[in-house]
Structure 1
Amino acid sequence: MSGVVVGEDGLARPAWAAHDPLLREYYDTEWGMPVRDERGLFERLSLEAFQSGLAWVTILRKRPAFREAFAGFDPDAVAAFHDDDVTRLMADAGIVRNRRKIEATIANAQATVALRPDGGLAQLVWSFRPADTPRPRTIAEVPTTSPESVALAKALRTRGFRHVGPTTMFALMEAVGIVDTHLLDSHRRGSSGVWPGRA
């Protein structure tokens, strides 16, 4: 798992995104692109928490069911979930049925709503954008945490968020464009517009 793989289309991708069509599509069109809206960030924060301990492709395959189960990740709707909803979600084979993660998602929706008077979730998360971004040539050079992800995790926990550890928050920061960990030789390096390409 080092360096890039050049596909039949001539495009270079990391090995994790080179073969499975769903992962390839996600990598080519979504991963690392800026997400600055509340609902989009709440969805991705939720899915990153559910992914913990699982393969990301598992979450991607279940994402349509997650969206249906969690009211399109509308924070107001999820914040109003109660015990009957937890029971419903625990019986939903289309999602990851983990009670702690389900309850954390509901708590995180409530925390997201509570953040609005102070600027909101997007403003808080993006305030931890670092001054620089990694420049990995191989997967082994991609970090799994950063000082900023540690600080973001702490800030979110202070605000009542759960399942937001530094590794999960670094994965979130990668997914929504706050850092660019595309390999230097990937065709997606620098595509977010947030960071320069191979410089």
Structure 2
Amino acid sequence: MQHRCFWVTDSKLYQEYHDIEWGQPVFDDETLFEFLILETFQAGLSWITILNKRENFRKAFDSFDYNKIATYPESKYESLLLDAGIIRNKLKIRSAIINAQLFMDVQQEFGSFSAFIWSYVDNEPIINKVKERKDAPATTPLSDKISKDLKKRGFKFVGSTVMYAYMQAVGLVNDHTMDCFKYETK
């Protein structure tokens, strides 16, 4: 049996997420946007809750097509509020629409959201040396900086904790524990 990070439960869904996605560097804007939306909805909830609803989110939010989401009419917003398959938080649903619009603004300014977000780490993942739970930060000065920048641009639900989780999810930072089979030093 392979050893995984301390936070991975017996859930097959959680294990697959850890083994296949978490911490893998993501450079395509579509996936970066998907994780941005999922992480903002996760704020205050457990990640397994989001993973269990991920397919519902995909259906509800047009496969995370930020071009469509950015132009959602009020009727679509209202229908999302009634969708029991997702997190029905008024502010988070509204933020998904706002963040889609702002995501495209960043693309215009930097050529891609990927170019923008990866510039914070000089296009190379930060490799941390996490040995155990106490070594894993919830925020860092870098997540503070990214959060502040995104908030200045008008993004919602992008506090430092959310941004650090996002950095981990999309591989800007490698926080696999050193005893995890996914830990890499390069």
For Structure 1 versus Structure 2, the TM-score category normalised by the shorter chain is over 0.9
Cα deviation for residue 18 of structure 1 reads 4.0
Q: Is the contact made by 1:79 and 1:107 (CA closer than 8 Å) also made in structure 2?
A: yes
Q: Report which structure shows greater RCO (CA 8 Å, sep ≥6).
A: 2
Per-residue Cα deviation, 1:74-93 (whole angstroms, up to 9, x for no partner): 11000001211111000000
Q: Is the contact made by 2:81 and 2:88 (CA closer than 8 Å) also made in structure 1?
A: yes
Which of 107, 111, 126 is equivalent to 1:116? 107
* Structure 2, unaligned runs of 5 or more: none
Q: Is the contact made by 1:16 and 1:23 (CA closer than 8 Å) also made in structure 2?
A: no
Tell me the TM-score normalized by structure 1: 0.88
Which of 89, 102, 105 is equivalent to 2:80? 89
Match of 1:3 in 2: none
Distance (whole Å) between structure 2 residues aligned to residue 16 and residue 115 of structure 1: 33
Tell me the TM-score normalized by structure 2: 0.94
Matched residue pairs, number?
A: 183
Q: Is the contact made by 1:128 and 1:149 (CA closer than 8 Å) also made in structure 2?
A: no
Distance (whole Å) between structure 1 residues aligned to residue 163 and residue 95 of structure 2: 15
Per-residue Cα deviation, 1:131-152 (whole angstroms, up to 9, x for no partner): 8432110011101111111111
Moved over 3 A (4+): 130-133
Match of 2:135 in 1: 141
Distance (whole Å) between structure 1 residues aligned to residue 28 and residue 153 of structure 2: 18
Q: Which moved more, 1:16-25 or 1:46-55?
A: 16-25
Identity %: 39
Distance (whole Å) between structure 2 residues aligned to residue 175 and residue 161 of structure 1: 19
The structure with the largest helix share of the pair is: 2
Distance (whole Å) between structure 2 residues aligned to residue 156 and residue 128 of structure 1: 12
Q: Is the contact made by 2:6 and 2:132 (CA closer than 8 Å) also made in structure 1?
A: no
Match of 1:151 in 2: 145
> What CA RMSD, in Å, does the superposition of the two structures yield over aligned residues?
1.4
